[in-house]
Structures are given as C-alpha cells and as structure tokens.
Structure 1
Amino acid sequence: MQEDFRLILDFVSVLAAAAAGGLFAALLRQPALLGYILGGIIVGPAGLGLIKELVQIETLAQFGVAFLLFALGVEFSLAELKKVQAIALGGGGLQITLTILVTTLLSLGMGWVSTPAKGVFLGAILSLSSTAVVLKCLMERNETETPHGQIMLGILVVQDLALGLMLAVLPALDQPPEAIGVAIGLALLKIGLFAAGAVAAGIWLIPYLLRLLAKTESRELFLLGVVALCLGIALLTEHLGLSIEMGAFVAGLMISEVEYSDQTLTYVEPLRDVFAALFFAAIGMLIDPLFLWNNLELILGLVCLVLVGKFLIITPLVKAFGYPLKTAIIVGLGLTQIGEFSFVLASEGQFLGLVSRRVYLLILGTTAVTLVVTPFVLRVVPLAFNWLESLPSLKRFFEPMEAPKEVSPEVAQLLEPVVICGYGRGGRNLVRLMQEHNYPVLVIDQSERAIQQLREAKIPYVYGNAASLHVLEKAGVEKAQSLVIAVSDPMSTRLCLKRALELNPDLDIVVRANTERDIELLYQLGAKEVVQPEFEASLELATHLLTGIGLPASVIEREMEQIRSSHYLDLRPEQGPAQIARDLRTATEAMNSKWYALPESSPLKGMTLEEANIRRLTGVSLVAIRRAEGEEIDYPGAQAQLQEGDRILAVGEPDELAAFNELAKGEVAIPGINTPCQWLLVPEDSPAHGKTLAELHLRRQYGVQVQAIRREGKFIRFPDGRAEIRVGDHLLLCGGSYPLRQLQQWLAPEPQQSVVAIPIIKAPVSEALQEYLPLDSQRNGD
C-alpha cells in the first residue's frame, strides 16, 4: 500500500474509532474523552492492530494539544491570570519542587532508582498534571470560571511553562552539577528572550496582523492566518528547545487581549475539537491492556501512590494560600493525575537511558490509568461534598462561603438598596443607570481590582463572595429592593440566588444566565427574571429589523414580550425529555439535592406547588417530579400538583431538606394558601427575648405559628416549644393579617416594617439587564 494512502487510512480509522468511542461514552453518560481513549485502545497496536504507523498519528495528535492550548490561551486572558497569579506562580512552583523532592527521596529510600538523577527525572514526570484532560472536564462542566477552575488552570499553565525547562535540563542530569547549572541558565535565558519577544509581538505585531486579515472579510483567510500564526510560534518554541505546546499557549495569550479574540476562538474551536479527539485516541493507542493486566497489582499500587501523594502535596499548598478547604480539596483531587506531557519526558528519558523499557511501560500504564480516572473523580467530588456537608460535625469545615473581607462605610446608611453582584462591564453599566435615576445601589464583588474601582468612584460595596450567606447579610439583602446577579460562575450564581431567597423570600431577583441550560433551573430556584445575553441580542436585532420593515411598534413589543415570558423557548433548540433530564442532573449534582418519595399519608398530596408554598416554609426548591407511572416533569410550574407515589427532586441545604421531610410526612402544620406569612425582627426591648415558644403561647393567644427562626445566618425550620427567642432573631410568622399586626405590636413596641421590602423597580432592572449584561463580562472582574 502506498505510504501516503496508508496515512490517510490510519487517520480516518482513528477519527472513526474516536467518534464511535465518544458516542458510546455519551450513551453511558460519561465524558467523551474516555470514549476517545477507548477508541484508540481498540484500533491501536495492542487492540485490533489497524494502525500501523503510530509515529505519524502521534505527530498529527500534537496538533490537538497545540490547538487545545492555543484556545486555552485565547480564553485565559492575562487579566484573568492575574487573579490567581500568587497561587499559580508560587503554588505551582512549590508543587513542582516538592513533588520532585519527595519523589527523589522516596524512590532512593525504597531502592526504586539507583541515582539521584533518576529520582529527579521520575519526580519531574510525576509533577506534571494533564492540561488537556482537566481543561476538557472543566469545559464540559462549565467550571472554567469557578475559583477552583481558575486555580487549576493557573497551576497547569506554570507546569506547561516548566516543561521547557525540564526538557532543557534532562540531558544534563547525568553530568556534573555545573553542567546542570549551565543547562538551567540557558533554558531560563531562552524562556526570558521568548517571553520578551512575545510581549513585543503582542503589542505591536499581532493586533496589526489580525486587523489586516479581518479587513479582507474572508473567513478562510482569517482562519488560515490564525492557524499559521499558532503553529508558527509553536514551531519556534520547539526550535528554541522548549515545547510546541508552550508556544501554542503563548500564541493564544498574545491574541487574547486583541479585539478579534472571540472571532479567533470561534474559527479555531472546530479544529481544536477534531485534533483533540485525535490526541486522546493517540494516548489510547499507547496503552497495552495486556501489559496492564500482567502488572495490574503493581500499576494499581503506583496509581494509588500517585493520586494520594499529589493530593497530599497540592491540597495543603492551596489552603496555605488562603483558599477555603473545599476549594483546596477540589484542586488537589483535580490535579492528581500524571499529565500527557509526561509521555514526552518519559520517551526522552528512555532515549537517554534514564529508565529501562519496563519502567517506561509502567510509567505509561500508570499515566494512562490516572488520566482515565480523573473525569470520574471530578464527577464524584460534588456528590461527596453533598454527603459530607450533610453531617453536622463536618459541615463547618466545608462551609464554602467566607465572611466579607471589607465593607465600605456607606453600606450602613443605605435604605432599601439595589444590590448588584458582579462589577464587570455589565455591572458597571447597571450601576451607572441606577445612579442616573437616583436609586441607592450597592455592589458585591470579590476582585481586588473591581473593589479599587468602587473605592475610587465612592460607590458602596461589600468585598467578598456573593454566594456567601454572610456577605449577603452584610450587604443588607433582607431589606433590598432588588438583587441583580451578574457573576460568571454558574455555581456561584445558583448559590447566590438560593441564599438570597433564604434571607428575603419575596426579593425581586434578576439573574444573568451564562448558558441557555441554566435558564429553567434559575427560574425554578426562584429568580423573577432570567436574562440570557445572546438571546437578548437576537431580540434587539429583530426589533430593529421589524421596525425598519414597518411593523407597528405595539406588535413588535408584544411579540418580544411573549418570547421573554416563555423563557426564550421560541429561540432555543428543541430538546427531548431525556436531554432535559440529563442537563438537570448535571446542573444539580454540584448542589445539595435529593430524591424523596412522597409518603402515602402526606398532607402535600393533592396540593399544587403554589398552594404548598414549600420554598418559603422550608427553603427547598423542587426541580423535578417523577410520577408513579414513570412520567417525569422537569422544572414543574406553580400549578403542578403533587400526587400519591410521586418522587421529588429537592434542592436545598441539609437542614432545609430535613425540614421538607418533616413537612412531607405531616409532622408540622402547613399554612393555607391564603394564610399570610411575614418575617419579623425581634428588637432589643422585645418582651419575647429569653423566652421559649412554649412560654409565649403565640399559637393559642394569637393564632400565629412560628414556621422558622433565622439567627446569625443559621435557619431553624419548624422550631419546637423548647426554642428560645433572642434579640436579633428573624421569625417567620404565619397566621391571619390582624393577628400578625397584633403580634407585631407586642413584639416590637414601636411600629416596625417587615424586612421583606416591596420591589418598586422590577421593570427598569430587567430592561437594564437585557441591554447591559453581555456574556463576556467575566473578563472584567465579575
């Protein structure tokens, strides 16, 4: 067979195997990259042996890593890198150093290697984690903008940069110490010169080149120019003795700050996905299942040693840099694998005689297993945390939300403010709009750069994580007119919405949805309005076109409002029930959620969700109902009726889920749909202070039931007679309107306004969000 045709046949075979493996993984609801690896194993030399020229496929697979890191560089701008530069540079450098040191000492002590040089080489291999696998998992779970995602990517970037240094030092490991010093010096000099050249090109050359390509208005020319730029810089770094991957990433960083970065990413993504699949299939072709089976115990032992060892090194480092324990554990578990670039080091080490053929195969096997295990680990972590946080003795250690770092003095003087979470481009525009109409405004952000801008502009702020209950309390959410959530992290968005409604159940909350999959869940969690910037852009374009055609403004406005009120269903692609259910599971698996079987004697049976008023009474959101006959209702509406035999997917904190369980079993009374409920603050001079509910006899004297007590951020649902009332408590009281007024006058001698404010600017905030909250505002510090 002709050589060129053989390459084409191998290339098509690998892509077909990757596609089949990816489809198989998708049907099993597993990450697609596991399917790509499986496809590679099947067609590789250890499988069916369909691929004859493995070297050529590996060469093509390098394009996959190059495009993957190029796209990462375009998305991962320098401004974002600055947010985690301390943990990326300091923590990443320490992690590599400690891993090499510990591995060298352990391997020498156990007799695994004969010289320190070989121990250092083994440590260098183990110190690298997989940028490709971790990035793919974070993208599939939409977690690249989360705190743990940013930390992982920052450390991975440092590891990728260190690869060039490792490759430069590798040939000198068996030389005298001065030779190693010279090799390190030359490598650092090359990296420094390349970095200086990259910065200069990024300022003076790249923007001009992209503008020139864009002026042609040719998609083909633009794509061709960008690919040539990416691969050209990658080859330059290879020629300098660094790595192709490092060059591709730097090329992406150079483009990330240019106005054509989004267009570049859109064009390159299809190439990236195709060649990335080829890369993972190439990894599969390196795996020899027979060798793994014959050395199963040894490889499993090495895998456990690597996973546990790297976790014990990385997790304390992240915690030492001031991050919450939960974030540190996720990062530690996410970076425990051995990276794909370790294949490059291992191959070079075998060529230089630093490792034997058997040790090389053991390294390949261990690396391959850790890469396969990683997606499962990252998927199980949220479920494990849900279980751990349900244990009262452990919950405080994993409390993800910290106290605010700083609160501006003006916050205490604000009355009924509009609270805006996220001070990116959309947040800044919204603040300006509110100030023009003289509405009191307060901003929550956790970026030091954004807080400094707020200080200079003398805008009231709370410096902290908007998903923290303590931060929301300090911001006065319980007395706010409205709340706007415009943060880029989907998980933080959901938690912020959930916790804000705990503080103020009737609060008017407008949320920016980062993806269309979040829209229904955000509505289900209690948002009054969900804005999706891409759909809003489509509506604005349509409005302009229809107005120009001559359609009456009233007709256009009515049609646009119908689309918004239907949650953009007219613009969203149709999805089958199975796909909707999968998206729902993915969205809720990182939150505290549980399936409940509705008891036969439950008082909720026959009630609609509106009548049951479950969110107000327990804090729980019901996001799915599975009927006894098998029908599933995802995102049920207010009129959905609970029936005998239903299984219910509930989302809430452990104490909220416990309260819902009591409510479903009929262990507590359910107020009628027309029964008013009100949050009331217990003032300092209240006669109720220090007394238990049994002593107060509120139900007997006033016909009012205390459904919940909120105290210092903690919720006591359905308190019994032993619960003691304290100054500063917020009581959720349910009863008749007249008894509630009487009880309020007794509890608070002076007339007092409920903490639940009536929202008065609902429409302006919603309209402002639709115009001013672009999707890409995460680059501006949301």
Structure 2
Amino acid sequence: MAEVNHAFVYDITLVLGSSALAGLIVHRLRQPVLLGYLIAGLVIGPFGLGQITQIEEIKSLAEIGVAFLLFALGVEFSLAELKRVKDIAIKGSLLQISLTIALVALFTTLLGWVQSPIEGIFMGAVLSLSSTAVVLKTLTERGEVNTIHGQVMLAILIAQDLALGLMLAVLPALNNPDNLLPALITAIIKAVLFFASAIAAGYWIIPRLMTTVAKTENSELFLLTVIALCLGIALITANLGLSIEMGAFVAGLTIAEIDYADQALAKMIPLRDTFASLFFASIGMLINPDTLWQNSGVIIGLVALVMIGKATIIFPIIWQFGYSFKTAMISSLGLNQIGEFSFVLAVLGEKLAFINQEQYDLLIGTTAITLVLTPLGMKLSPEIANKLANISIIANFLQKSQGNRGISVPQTIRDHIVVAGYGRVGRVLVKVLRDRNYKVLVIENSEAAIRGLRKENIPYIFGDADSELVLEKAYLEKAKAIAIALPDPSSTRILLKSARDINPHIDIVARSHSDREIDLLTKLGAAEVVQPEFEAALEMGRQILSTLGEDNQEIASAVQEIRTDRYLSVRDISNKTKNQQY
C-alpha cells in the first residue's frame, strides 16, 4: 500500500512540476499557459515518456479541477450581467445544439460515415459541445470574461453543460426508442427538482451556514466549508445524472450574492488553478502521437471540418440575436472546438457501440487538437473579425443590415462627447455628463444596452467601437472628446489609434486594464489614462488623510501629482508587490 501511495505522490509531483515548467516556457513564448499544461501531459503521459502510472487517480483529481473552475465562475458570474445574454443562453444555445446534431446526423448518414441515423445523432451530440474549461481559462488570462463576447460565450457554454446531463440520460435510450420519451421526462424532472432545491438552499440555508462559519473567524474552517459545499453539490448533480460541472456552477451561484462571496473566491483561486492544471495535463495524456501520425491526413481534415463547421453554425445564430458582427465572429471562433466533456460522451458511445475503437481514437485526437488550437484561435479572432469587416462586400452588407436599428444620431450633432462602452463604467460616465448638460453619443455592441439607450433617448450607434465603419458615423471630427470605457484591452487600443487618425486634435480619456497599458495608451494618443485600481487606492488614501485631519488642498495636490506622472510612483510599488506574491 505504501508503494502505491508513493507512486501516486510521484505522479502528482511530476504532473505539477512538468506543467509548471511547460507553462513557464509557453508563457515566455507569449502563449496561453494552458497550452503548456496540455503539452506537459502529452510528454509525460502513457503515449509519451510513459512516466505516469496512476492515470485514473489523476483524472479523478482533474474532475475536481473542473468543478473548482465552474464554482469560481458561478461566484464571479453576475446575474445582472446574465440577464443581458439570457436570450442567447436559452434560445440560442438550444438552437445551436439542435442544429449541430441535425446537420451532423444528416451529413454523416448521407456520406456513409456512420451506419445508422442513431449513430449520426450521437456524433452530433458529441460535436455540439464546446469547452467550458479551455474557453473560460483563456478568457480569464486575456481579461475578457466581462466583455460582451465573453458573456455570450459563457452563457452558451453553461447551457451546453446543462444539456450534457440530458444527453447522458437520453443517449442510452436511443438503442431502445420506446424508452426515449420516459428517459427525457425523467431527466427534465431531475433538473427541475435540483434547481428548485438549489434556489431554496441558496435563499434559506447557505447564507446562514456561511455566516455561522465566518463568525468563527477561522480561515481553515471557512475554506473547508466552501470546498465541501462545492464538491457536495457537484456530487448531488452527478448522482442525479446531470453534470458535475453544472452542480459546481450552481454551488457558486448560491453564494455569489452573500456577503462572504469574495472571501470564498479568494480562498478557492489557488486550489482552482492547481487542480485545473491537472485537468489540462490529463487531456494531454489522452493524445496518442502514433494515432495522430498514422491518421494525420484524416485528423487534419476532421479538425478543419469541425472548427469551420461549428463556427459556421454558431456565427449566424449570434448575429441573428442582435449582436454585432465582431461579437458574433469572435464568439463563433471561440466556441468552434469539441468540448472536453465530449470525452464523457465518447466513452459512453463506445460502450453502447455507437462508435468503434478506431472512431473513438480519431475522435479523441480531433478533440485534443481543437482544444490545443482554441487559445490561438481566440487570440487571432479580433484581428480576423476586423479584416473581414473591412472587405468591401461584407462592409456594404453590414451597413445595409444595420439599418435604422443600428444608429440614432442627429446629423446636426456637434461638440458632443463620444462614450465607447455602456457597461457599468460607461453608464456612470454618461449620467455624470448628461447631468451637466453635455451632449453624449454612446457606441455599444449589446442589444440589451441599446434598448436602454432608446428608452432614455440617448443618441447611440450599435456596433463595435473599434470598427472603422462605426466610427465614420460618430462624427468624431465634430466631437469635443471621446471616453473609452471598453472592457476589452485590444479594442481599446484599436479604437484609440483610429480616433486619433480621424481627429488628431480630439481629447481622449481611456481606461487602462493593467499597469503595462498605461504608457502604451499614452503613446497612442490618450490625453488621460485612468487605471481603476490605482484610482480606488488614491480615493481611499484621500478619504483616510481627510479623516486624519490633513489639509484638503494638500491632499488634492498630492493625489494630482500621482496622476500627472501617470501613476509612476505607485506603479513601482504595485510591481514590487506582485513580485513578492510570486
């Protein structure tokens, strides 16, 4: 028994160590660290150097990593933000899954790739799922979780995770069509009962439990309670035939609105990142280089077919739900992989004889490659979307299709302030300006936000603020200033440069998302760059000094001095703090 335990400890140490090394290398190469985790799993796994002996135990821990990922997402996920994308989450996801299953079943049957329509339906179910873990990790690394395309992608992914539970309940019944309807009804009843119980627990039980534990002021007890809550609810959903991931996400939602949500998230982040690395490494272990090499032509074709095909299905759905061309393009290119939970369906399909061993190996290889390509695709997607939007045929189509819905700007407007982005920051900024009788023009790519602007009779342009087509309609040459409050760093940079090209004399105030962007945005032409974290710290410092009786004029002078040098003095402190943390 001792030898087995030592072997398991060796495997864990090897996986974490190799993941850290590979992650460091790819980070130096400016690639997402999860790519390093996948490579590490491939190298040390059974098809690589064969150093891992306790693969099943690693996979079990990897499931915990996925549960923690979804739990943290649930804690961070804003129900108010979810309302902005509720239509695409419910109707759009159902349409995407249904279309994918139907088209895959049709084409695979007609082309003779499967022996029966039932096998085609199974393949469609496998291909309909995208990767919550990979997309979420990539969005987090790029700081795009709260962007509109990030919210759209996460809404669809969460709905897909819920659908996984139904698929696991329904697919076995395909071998016996008489049981299909009862299996579907049973799965729906289980899901409804679970969500009703979760809502009740989140309202009456969990807040009281967390308050009682927090009053002990014991961080260990608090952490253990949070872990038990996350994994306990996840196991309940697993026993109900729903996905572990959905249970973990709902567990996060149940504490998202209580006072101790931020504390719970802070405790979970180190565990989440550690176990998540195990998950991605475990996926790498499934990749068989020999199978990939021997079937390289087939797999390359399948990868291209899957990624192009899924993007082609997803793009028009998002576009038809009122989102901008760029949002639809980025989202479709971010969701065009096969999800890691398709492995679960693949194993089930092999047991039910829906696929044979050769098809299983090809499916695993294709899935693994699409997961590896996802971070790169998400990195390139904004540039791809911008280039496509500038093609004359597409640009003309976008201009015509946008119609009256897309613009509400008086042709006589001048001396106005353009506000790019109508999220939490943009809304406050617009209110401050309008309260002082400034004319405001908002550029926003969320249909839900546009509806609010219509109700308040605020001039708006529907579209991506970094699009040249959109900026042409904003009368920047007549504007006084532009405030960039976009949640996406790359869009902020593109917009800033384009605005400066259109009107070299316009005043530009931009929101910085990190320390490194401050100088870059200044060089690109921003008159002022605002870093929210530093501004919060300065305001707290001002309040404290005022409370201590310091002269208000001297306080204002000290704060202004820090702002004038673009936070340079506090940036040094911030960087030192980060270095100490790592």
TM-score, length basis structure 1: 0.67
Alpha-carbon distance, 1:459 to partner: 6.5
Alignment-derived partner of residue 180 in structure 2: 180
Alpha-carbon distance, 1:504 to partner: 4.4
Alignment-derived partner of residue 638 in structure 1: none
**2:73 counterpart of 1:72:** yes
SS at match of 1:570: helix
Alignment-derived partner of residue 570 in structure 2: 571
Which structure exhibits the higher relative contact order, with contacts defined as CA atoms closer than 8 Å and separated by 6 or more residues? 2
Task: Output the CA distance in 2 between the equivalents of 1:404 and 1:469.
Answer: 18
Alpha-carbon distance, 1:538 to partner: 1.4
Task: Output the CA distance in 2 between the equivalents of 1:196 and 1:174.
Answer: 31
1:533/1:187 CA distance change after superposition, 3 Å: same
Alpha-carbon distance, 1:370 to partner: 1.3
Task: Output the CA distance in 1 between the equivalents of 2:382 and 2:506.
Answer: 28
Task: Output the CA distance in 2 between the equivalents of 1:10 and 1:483.
Answer: 55
Alignment-derived partner of residue 193 in structure 1: 193
Amino acid at match of 1:239: N
5 Å-filtered alignment, 1:15-414, equals 15-175=16-176, 177-385=177-385, 387-388=387-388, 395-396=395-396, 405=405
1:500/1:295 CA distance change after superposition, 3 Å: closer
1:391/1:128 CA distance change after superposition, 3 Å: closer
Task: Output the CA distance in 1 between the equivalents of 2:401 and 2:144.
Answer: 17
Amino acid at match of 1:486: A
Task: Select the structure that is richer in helix.
Answer: 2
Give per-residue Cα distances to partners, 1:41-99, cap 9 Å, x unaligned.
Answer: 11111122221111100000001111111222223322222222222322221221122
5 Å-filtered alignment, 1:694-709, equals none
Residue of structure 1 aligned with 2:437, choices 431, 439, 448:
439
Alpha-carbon distance, 1:263 to partner: 3.5
Contact 1:403–1:471 (8 Å) recurs in 2: no
Structure 1 vs Structure 2 CA RMSD: 3.2
SS at match of 2:175: coil
1:500/1:199 CA distance change after superposition, 3 Å: farther
SS at match of 1:355: coil
5 Å-filtered alignment, 1:651-730, equals none
1:302/1:501 CA distance change after superposition, 3 Å: closer
SS at match of 1:52: coil
Task: Output the CA distance in 1 between the equivalents of 2:42 and 2:347.
Answer: 19
Identity fraction in percent: 51
Alignment-derived partner of residue 559 in structure 1: 558
Give per-residue Cα distances to partners, 1:430-478, cap 9 Å, x unaligned.
Answer: 4555566x4335362645665666677x564436347166766766655
Alpha-carbon distance, 1:358 to partner: 2.5
SS at match of 1:530: strand
Contact 1:71–1:268 (8 Å) recurs in 2: yes
Alpha-carbon distance, 1:363 to partner: 1.4
Deviates more, 1:467-476 or 1:262-271: 467-476
SS at match of 1:440: coil
1:104/1:253 CA distance change after superposition, 3 Å: same
Contact 1:89–1:158 (8 Å) recurs in 2: yes
Contact 2:450–2:462 (8 Å) recurs in 1: no
1:463/1:255 CA distance change after superposition, 3 Å: farther
1:320/1:550 CA distance change after superposition, 3 Å: closer
SS at match of 1:205: helix
Give per-residue Cα distances to partners, 1:672-710, cap 9 Å, x unaligned.
Answer: xxxxxxxxxxxxxxxxxxxxxxxxxxxxxxxxxxxxxxx
Residue of structure 1 aligned with 2:460, choices 459, 462, 475:
462
Deviates more, 1:353-362 or 1:317-326: 317-326
Amino acid at match of 1:199: I
Task: Output the CA distance in 2 between the equivalents of 1:402 and 1:260.
Answer: 44
SS at match of 2:220: helix
5 Å-filtered alignment, 1:364-763, equals 364-385=364-385, 387-388=387-388, 395-396=395-396, 405=405, 416-430=415-429, 433-434=432-433, 438-442=436-440, 444=442, 446=444, 460-462=458-460, 464-465=462-463, 467=465, 478-501=477-500, 504-547=503-546, 553=552, 555-573=554-572
Alpha-carbon distance, 1:279 to partner: 0.3
Task: Output the CA distance in 2 between the equivalents of 1:301 and 1:451.
Answer: 41
Amino acid at match of 2:295: N
Deviates more, 1:52-61 or 1:538-547: 538-547
Amino acid at match of 1:85: K
Alignment-derived partner of residue 578 in structure 2: none
Task: Output the CA distance in 2 between the equivalents of 1:211 and 1:525.
Answer: 48
Amino acid at match of 1:141: R
Deviates more, 1:476-485 or 1:16-25: 476-485
SS at match of 1:3: helix
For the pair shown, the structure with the greater C-alpha radius of gyration is: 1
1:482/1:227 CA distance change after superposition, 3 Å: same
SS at match of 1:484: strand
Task: Output the CA distance in 2 between the equivalents of 1:466 and 1:152.
Answer: 17
Amino acid at match of 1:163: L
Alpha-carbon distance, 1:166 to partner: 0.6
Alpha-carbon distance, 1:549 to partner: 5.8
Contact 1:283–1:368 (8 Å) recurs in 2: yes
Contact 1:404–1:464 (8 Å) recurs in 2: no
SS at match of 2:115: coil
Contact 2:144–2:487 (8 Å) recurs in 1: no
Alpha-carbon distance, 1:191 to partner: 0.9
Q: Which runs of 5+ in 1 are unaligned?
A: 577-782
TM-score, length basis structure 2: 0.88
Contact 1:58–1:282 (8 Å) recurs in 2: yes
SS at match of 1:186: helix
1:102/1:470 CA distance change after superposition, 3 Å: closer
SS at match of 1:514: coil
Alpha-carbon distance, 1:38 to partner: 1.0
1:155/1:228 CA distance change after superposition, 3 Å: same
SS at match of 2:163: helix
SS at match of 2:303: helix
Alpha-carbon distance, 1:296 to partner: 2.1
Amino acid at match of 1:2: E
SS at match of 1:511: strand
Contact 2:329–2:385 (8 Å) recurs in 1: no
Alpha-carbon distance, 1:565 to partner: 1.5
Contact 1:401–1:469 (8 Å) recurs in 2: no
Alpha-carbon distance, 1:297 to partner: 2.4
Alpha-carbon distance, 1:396 to partner: 4.4
Task: Output the CA distance in 1 between the equivalents of 2:33 and 2:165.
Answer: 30
Amino acid at match of 2:440: L
SS at match of 1:18: helix
Alignment-derived partner of residue 764 in structure 1: none
The number of aligned residues is 572
Alpha-carbon distance, 1:490 to partner: 3.2
Amino acid at match of 1:102: L
Alpha-carbon distance, 1:212 to partner: 3.8
Contact 1:299–1:362 (8 Å) recurs in 2: yes
Alpha-carbon distance, 1:375 to partner: 2.0
Amino acid at match of 1:526: G
Alpha-carbon distance, 1:480 to partner: 4.5
